[in-house]
A and B are shown apart, each in its own frame.
Chain A
Amino acid sequence: DSGVTQTPKHLITATGQRVTLRCSPRSGDLSVYWYQQSLDQGLQFLIQYYNGEERAKGNILERFSAQQFPDLHSELNLSSLELGDSALYFCASSGPPVWGIEQFFGPGTRLTVL
């Protein structure tokens, strides 16, 4: 158990819909990362938050957005969903004091868009 929790574990929805994925980092970690893993691919970095502020952005679509709340949990919002958005979405956390090299991953949310 990495200490990082993600909900829900599975999500099935239709094209055009909007969903929210939730992540709680390990106790004390200030940095949260979101990654997307499509079928048989590596993990693609989407976005990083550090202590409530956006720190880095990867190839995140404009239809996707994220935030980190004062209690340090994070949410990834995916809107106007398309079939190609079906993937595993992982959250990871790291730190402190700033961010450690090692990131701890949650179990992921499997999103299926029908």
Chain B
Amino acid sequence: DQQVKQNSPSLSVQEGRISILNCDYTNSMFDYFLWYKKYPAEGPTFLISISSIKDKNEDGRFTVFLNKSAKHLSLHIVPSQPGDSAVYFCAASEGGNTGKLIFGQGTTLQVKP
């Protein structure tokens, strides 16, 4: 059972435009959501997170939106840059007595110059 889903395997955008990556989840007990970026041959790198009690968190060019009623979150990158080309993973945490993360399958973003 896939509790965190990223339904778009890939996304291509033009440099300077907005990139929107989407993520859906099924477990209403998740209390934190995170986005990670991964380049080839490297480990995932933390980008931004959001608590389930918020609906928006912004950090520079990156903004994450959370819609709890729809069990949906999205990552907006504005403006997109070629260096943003990578695989983006959405992850969720149940909190409680463990910090384990449940990951989506990832979306490959290509930003064209």
**Tally of A-B residue pairs with Cβ under 8 A?**
67
When C-beta atoms are compared, the residue in chain B nearest to A91 turns out to be B43
Chain B, interface size category, equals 20 to 34
Quick check: is B70 within 8 A (CB to CB) of the other chain? no
CB pair B32 A101 closer than 8 Å: yes
Quick check: is A68 within 8 A (CB to CB) of the other chain? no
CB pair B106 A42 closer than 8 Å: yes
With A31-B99, A107-B41 in contact, do A42 and B49 touch (Cβ < 8 Å)? no
Residues of chain A lying within 8 A (CB to CB) of residue B41: 107
Interface 9-mer from A11-19, A43-51, A69-77, A79-87? A43-51
Residues of chain A lying within 8 A (CB to CB) of residue B89: 42-43
Interface size on A, residues (CB 8 A): 30
Quick check: is B93 within 8 A (CB to CB) of the other chain? yes
When chains A and B are docked, how far (Å) is the Cα of A19 from the Cα of B89? Answer: 28
Quick check: is B17 within 8 A (CB to CB) of the other chain? no
Cβ 8 A contact of A106, one of B32, B43, B91, B99: B43
Within 8 A of B (CB), among A20-77: 31, 33, 35, 40-45, 48, 55-56, 58
CB pair B93 A44 closer than 8 Å: no
Within 8 A of A (CB), among B1-57: 4, 6, 32, 34, 36, 41-46, 49
CB pair B103 A42 closer than 8 Å: yes
Interface residues of A (CB under 8 A from B): 2, 4, 31, 33, 35, 40-45, 48, 55-56, 58, 90, 92, 94-95, 98-108
